[in-house]
Amino acid sequence: MSQATASLNGIDFPLISGETILEFSRRIESEHTIPTLCDDSRLEPYGSCRVCSVDVALSADGPRKVMASCHTPVSNGMHVFTHSPRVEKLRRNIIELVLSDLPEQNLPMQGVPIKDNVNRTEFEQVVLETGVSEVRFVGRKSVDSLQTDEKGSICDTSHPYMRMDLSMCIDCNRCVRACDEIQGEQVLSVSGRGFDAHIIKGQDVSFKESDCVSCGACAQTCPTGAISDVFREQLTLVPAESVETVRTVCSYCGVGCNLEVSVKDNKILSIEAPKDAAVNSGHTCLKGRYAWRFYNHPDRLTTPMIKKEGQLTPVSWTEAFDYLANKLQTIKAEHGPDAIAGISSARCTNEENYLLQKMLRAVIGTNNIDCCARVCHSPTAYGMQKSFGTGAATNSIDDLKQTEFILLIGANPTAAHPVTGAKIKQKVMKGTPLIVIDPVKTELAKYAQWHIQLRPGTNVAVLNMMAYYIISENLIDERFVQTRTEDYQSYANAILALDIDELALISGVDKDLVKSAAIAYANANKAMSFHGLGVTEHSQGSRAIMCIADLVMLTGNIGSQGVGMNPLRGQNNVQGAADMGCQPHQGAGYFTVDDEKNSEYYQQHYGIQNGLVDNVTPWPAVNGYKIPEMFNAAIAGDLKALWIMGEDVVQTDPNQQHVVASLSNLDLLVVQEIFLSETAKMADVVLPGTSFLEKNGTFTNGERRVQKVNAAVPPKSGCKTDGQIIVEMMNALGHSQPTYDADTMLQEIADVVPFFAGITWENLGDNGLQWPVEKGGKDTQILHQENFTRGLGKFHFYEFEESTEVLEHGEEFPFILTTSRNLEHYNAGTMTRRTANELIVSEDVLLINPNDAASKGIKDQSQVKLFSARGEIELKAEISDKVSDGVLFTTFHFPELMINRVTGDVTDKHTKCPEYKVVSVDVAAV
């Protein structure tokens, strides 16, 4: 069959099925494109302004018809004329009519921006291109009908980042549609008619008073600047040619949004989202788009410091490296290499993580290296490795487009993974069924058909109930279970022997609700599961992961598009930190370190001769300390030196008193940081590192996508990239390591890590590659398609076990505290609190159910005391039905609160991930 073609302005071009005329034209004529006003490629075609109208004929000599190109499909044999005299005339008329809507002073063809060579707004550009120079129509939008603030201004300046001046609005409704279709927030709408029509927020309130989540989608799409952001406004004030744009990847959550950074004279002006980004298609949350000014905050560390007479004292880099080399070699000589440990950072690049583990293993000679996956998703990696053979997301977030059912467990993605959260919300609002298993009534729980609001810590009980109903109702995928899995029968026997009434009582859920959810999940054609730290940060975290894997295998929801098991990774590069070997039991590429063949493999790649990392220290062949074990070893006096790259363990790790006591007992604490964090304050040596905006490298997001991080600005004066710091330290310790360069480092990693084998700096392109990547560059969107990595998928049965926290302290401290993040801040808040996000949310609060508040005499917004077996804190209470009776909830972003004074020592049985989600506490009015 011959290729379908259409003619564009007299020349034939091949068609792509499903394209509109506008898409066809843009694909072919990058220069001479059709002007548009209401179009945005991220939004559904709207066809309202008609500026994109073109002449269309179905044969060369056939009659021509004017059609809106944005929503007319292009078809075989079609003839399209984009700039015929009559469509150009039509466009001028439309533009004139649109202009007649604007107050006189805002007519762009009378204003400076059109004449001067500065960044024009999209609307100004269209006016210029269509050649309209006067407006013949009478009548004007009245600015009198627009709401004013207390100063009489019609510009809403109530938000730290966003502005709205409706005197510039042309009623294209792109902002309203962006709010609905991209974010799913539905904050914006239109009020009034004719010249009185105007955009409102909520019930016509200010940005601040509205439910706006500050994603900036409206500001990015607005073609006139009527809605803008404070950073984007700066762009319009400088010549376009003086601004450079750099594409990089957000360093907050594991979604891995691409960012387009506008830079002038080594200063960042604004950040937007590239529309062609595979991960985020022109969208971000407020952290990625707005919370970046920490990068040149006055609090930045700019010089190395050594503690002298109790004071951190500025020193030169040479003095710092000499001091450290001497100190580390002395500790190693006196106490052995295992007296030294390192904690790497999920904020840093793959290359930097790789280097830190290499320094510990190949230079110091110890496997004492761990990363923050320990305190978040180590149970995911462990459990999925046990069930499937690979401990990473099986599918891509883009598979949401194909899925027909969503199971969300222990995750609040609209707050913690906002761009993915918005996609899930969009999907559910369009009718895809959703089960939420979560003790908190999260935003997505409100949209869910099934919200199973279990008692914190009882995931295994509820997941086993789901399995019970799937098996007892004969809803398993027989063929899949027979051909792709093992140990089904013993698993099914154990599940069917469970006492469902008892499990319902333990977990506090309605068994009929669980039954109906389980049946719906099993009957779905394609179901995707997502889970977060509400699954992993438990004493049965790894076991709950294997229970989810059981459900996935029972229903055959793995190995194809629109299904799978997808952990929502917490930090931007936590996947990468683990991939790079920042774990005490597995090196780069997940080879176990206590296996002789693997030891040889690493030695060969790291150039280790005769099995010795130096002349005396043997290659390390036993598992190292996990993070909690490092703290215990420091208390016991076995660990003498700890190197921490970009982690604030004093604030983020549980049982803060224990952490502080451990760090205080070290002979040497080294902290690489960008700010003087709570941990850095305790350090003997502080080394000023750099933010993601100042470095090159790669991050791996939660869907195994390795993406390029490109420096937008040079390292702040006095600082070094974290990779360069480690390289110089390795050299100071006698190991020859070339200077930090992302490209060269990536080559070394591709040599060591088999699933990086086909990755090069060049072939990552703009949108990266999903590992495993074969030599030649072929990447993998879906894992376990024909076989599981381990061969057959393995069923595991675990019974519910009560947490020792509840068993030991539940009687004295009868409430259960569970913790999570909010949208505006990130973990310890080190970065977000140094941005205007602090003006939006400025404290952590404690959510308490109305019944509990009444019984404790606690008033809304009053101070309360929260105490556990470890310690106590004071914070503000907020009465909320988001939590059930007996459950309390808070976030942990503000160091002054120190929430980890009350959290405990219980950890996951297999991985030692702390049980942040179940803390026995009591609460009292102050």
Least Å distance, CB 710 to ligand SF4, is 16
Nearer to ligand SF4 (CB atom), residue 182 or residue 250: 250
Establish if 258 lies at the interface with ligand SF4 (CB under 6 A): no
H helices present in 649-709, as ranges = 649-652, 656-664, 678-681
- Does position 231 interact with ligand SF4 (CB under 6 A)? The reply is no
Cis geometry, peptide bond prior to residue 654 (ω within 30 degrees of 0):
no
Rounded least distance, CB 257 to ligand SF4, Å: 3
Residue showing the smallest CB distance to ligand SF4 in the complex:
288
Which 3 state secondary structure label does DSSP give 162?
strand
- Binding mask 270-289 vs ligand SF4 (x if CB under 6 A, - otherwise)? ----------x---xx-xx-
Task: Confirm or reject binding of residue 219 to ligand SF4 (CB under 6 A).
Answer: no
**Using a CB cutoff of 8 Å and minimum separation of 24, what contacts does 134-137 make?**
134/109, 135/96, 135/99, 135/100, 135/107, 136/96, 137/96, 137/97, 137/100
Cα–Cα distance between 854 and 838 in angstroms, integer? Answer: 31
Q: β-strand 793-794 against 863-867: which pairing, if any? A: unpaired
Q: Which is nearer to ligand SF4, 287 or 735 (CB)?
A: 287
Q: Which is nearer to ligand SF4, 422 or 730 (CB)?
A: 422
Give yes or no for a contact between 688 and 300, defined as CB atoms under 8 angstroms apart: yes
Give the helix/strand (H/E) hosting 436: strand 434-437
Distance CA(923)–CA(926), nearest Å, equals 9
Count of residues in contact with ligand SF4, rule CB under 6 A: 14
Minimal distance, residue 699 CB to ligand SF4, in Å: 9
State which amino acid sits at residue 925: A
| Min CB(551)–ligand SF4 separation in Å | 27
User: Nearest distance from residue 264's CB to ligand SF4, in Å?
Assistant: 22
Shortest spacing between CB 399 and ligand SF4, in angstroms? 17
Name which of residues 287 to 346 contact ligand SF4 (CB under 6 A). Answer: 287-288
Total Cβ atoms within 10 A of residue 595: 11
Strand ranges inside 730-814, DSSP E: 769-770, 793-794
> Which residue's entry shows tokens 């895809």?
432
Task: Give CA–CA dist 923/856, Å, rounded.
Answer: 8
Q: Is 706 in the site for ligand SF4 (CB under 6 A)?
A: no
Nearest Cα neighbor of 535 from 921, 804, 918 is: 918
Shortest Cβ distance from residue 590 to ligand SF4 (Å)? Answer: 24
**245-253, 534-542, 643-651, 832-840 -> range binding ligand SF4 (CB under 6 A):** 245-253
Distance in Å, CB of 251 to ligand SF4, minimum: 8
Least spacing, CB of residue 735 vs ligand SF4, in Å: 34
* Minimum CB distance to ligand SF4 smaller for 255 or for 454: 255
Please give the sequence-ordered ranges of beta strands (E in DSSP) within 82-158, or none if there are none.
155-156
Q: Does 256 bind ligand SF4 (CB under 6 A)?
A: yes
Nearer to ligand SF4, 411 or 883 (CB): 411
Nearer to ligand SF4, 252 or 756 (CB): 252
575 binds ligand SF4 (CB under 6 A): no
**Bridge pairing between strands 815-819 and 793-794:** unpaired
Q: Where are the beta strands (DSSP E) in 542-650?
A: 565-567, 641-645
763, 757 Cβ separation under 8 angstroms: no
For strands 793-794 and 485-486, give the pairing: parallel
Question: Considering only residues 255, 460, 846, 883, which one is a binding residue for ligand SF4 as defined by CB under 6 A?
Answer: 255
* Residue range at the interface with ligand SF4 (CB under 6 A); choices 12-20, 315-323, 417-425, 654-662: 417-425
The residue among 183 and 284 lying less far from ligand SF4, judged by its C-beta, is 284
**In terms of C-beta density within 10 A (0-12 exposed, 13-18 middle, 19 or more buried), how is residue 309 classed?**
exposed
C-alpha torsion angle, residues 94, 97, 102, 106 (rounded to 10):
60
Closer to ligand SF4 by CB, 457 or 646: give it: 646
| Residue 365-404 contact track with ligand SF4, rule CB under 6 A, x = bound | ----------------------------------------
Q: How far is the CB of 176 from ligand SF4 (least distance, A)?
A: 22
The distance of closest approach from Cβ of residue 285 to ligand SF4 in the complex, given in angstroms and rounded to an integer, is 3
Residue 794 touches ligand SF4, criterion: CB under 6 A: no
Contacts of 696 (CB under 8 A, 6+ apart): 349, 708, 709, 710, 711, 721, 741, 742
Contacting ligand SF4 within 105-164 (CB under 6 A): none
From residue 368, alpha-carbon distances to 339, 342, 623, 642, 841 in Å are: 9, 6, 8, 9, 38
Please report the beta strands in 253-368, taking only residues with DSSP state E, as ranges in sequence order.
258-264, 267-272, 305-308, 311-314, 340-343
705 is an interface residue for ligand SF4 by CB under 6 A: no
Among 274, 337, 342, 418, binds ligand SF4 (CB under 6 A): 418
| CB of 34 or CB of 397, closer to ligand SF4 | 397
Q: Which of 168, 212, 250, 816 binds ligand SF4 (CB under 6 A)?
A: 250
Query: What is the total residue count of the chain?
Result: 926
- Using rule CB under 6 A, residue 574 touches ligand SF4: no
- The answer to the question of residue 543 lying near ligand SF4 (CB under 6 A) is no
Q: Judged by CB under 6 A, which stretch of 24-32, 194-202, 254-262, 862-870 contacts ligand SF4?
A: 254-262
- Pair of tokens at residue 779: 């990447």
Residue (292 or 813) nearer to ligand SF4, CB: 292
What are residue 255's DSSP bridge partners? none
Q: Which amino acid is at 799?
A: E
693 is an interface residue for ligand SF4 by CB under 6 A: no
By beta-carbon proximity to ligand SF4, the closer residue of 285 and 919 is 285
Of the candidate residues 146, 253, 549, 846, the single one contacting ligand SF4 (CB under 6 A)? 253
**Binding footprint of ligand SF4 on the chain (CB under 6 A):** 250, 252-253, 255-257, 280, 284-285, 287-288, 417-419
